[in-house]
Amino acid sequence: MRWKSIMLLLCLLLVTPSFASAESPVSYGWGFVKSKDGSIPEIGKYGQLLNEYHSYYLDDSGEKTVYITFDNGYEQGYTGDILDVLKKHDVPAAFFITGHYVSSAPDLVKRMVDEGHIVGNHSYHHPDLTKVSKEKMQRELEMLEDAVADLTDQDDMHYLRAPRGTFSARSLKWSEDLGYTNVFWSLAYADWKTGEQKGWQYAYDQVMAQMHPGAVVLLHSVSEDNAIALEKLIIELKKQGYSFRTLDDLVKQDILPKAITQF
């Protein structure tokens, strides 16, 4: 495991600086060296690309904050339980959904919005956004946004999570042009493999081992383990002094100080 972390760090550090060109079609798979003992995950030169296109993968303020996010491509029967836990503990979350999810689980999408959560764009058909034209990207994002607006009181969308975490300078630039903030993550584990669930304790241990200030946590609601472990995670993190915030809070803390300094 240590050798894998070293190799990933070397790959991140050796990424060529030319990838920051807005016309570069070269694609990358999101990755980082996992946090240990509360350290900030290392993303190497990906940081340059994220800064260039105002994208996020964590809160770098140093405060003990957590941002809970879910990717929802399809429903497995656990999202209702997850929403129950979030409501019980007054914890906000962001759910990045697809067109299939809107059509197959409309009541859950309505509930997400009604209970104050952010519904983010994971594209309508879940394509590789680095391989499509800007026009097709726009259609993918607008179709999902319109579907959610027709179903709920959320009229628009501001946050995008690239399908499969695949991105390029061009895809970040184009989506920013279309009014989106790309949100990656700084904490995750292989929880989407529904046939390989290892129990709630494993899910809990995986998240807690990687926890760090400002973590943007990626979870998948298809995992029964996550649904069971979530309440235990929230309780423990609150005991440790963490607070749960929204993606709006994350973006605003960058914007407001800049605006204030102009007066």
Q: Which of 125, 34, 52 lies closest to 43 in space, CA to CA?
A: 34
**212 an active-site residue?**
no
Task: Please compute, for residue 164, the number of CA atoms within 13 A of its CA located in the half-sphere on the CB side.
Answer: 13
The two tokens of residue 87 are 């409501």
The separation between the first and the last C-alpha atoms of the chain, rounded to the nearest angstrom, is 51
Q: Of 117, 122, 212, 220, which one is the catalytic site residue?
A: 220
Q: Which helix (H) or strand (E) holds 188?
A: none
Kindly give the residue spans of alpha helices, DSSP state H, lying in 152-217. 169-177, 200-210
Q: Of 71, 126, 191, 212, which one is the catalytic site residue?
A: 71
Q: Which of 96, 99, 113 lies closest to 154 in space, CA to CA?
A: 113
* Dist. CA 241–CA 64, nearest whole Å: 7
Handedness of CA 9, 187, 143, 221 (dihedral sign): positive
Number of other residues whose CB lies within 10 A of the CB of residue 213: 19
The two tokens of residue 131 are 């391989």
Return the amino acid letter for 239: K
Asked whether 97 and 119 are in contact (CB, 8 A), the reply is yes
**220 an active-site residue?**
yes
* Dist. CA 182–CA 76, nearest whole Å: 26
* Dist. CA 185–CA 214, nearest whole Å: 10
Asked whether 69 and 220 are in contact (CB, 8 A), the reply is no
What residues are labeled active site? 71, 220
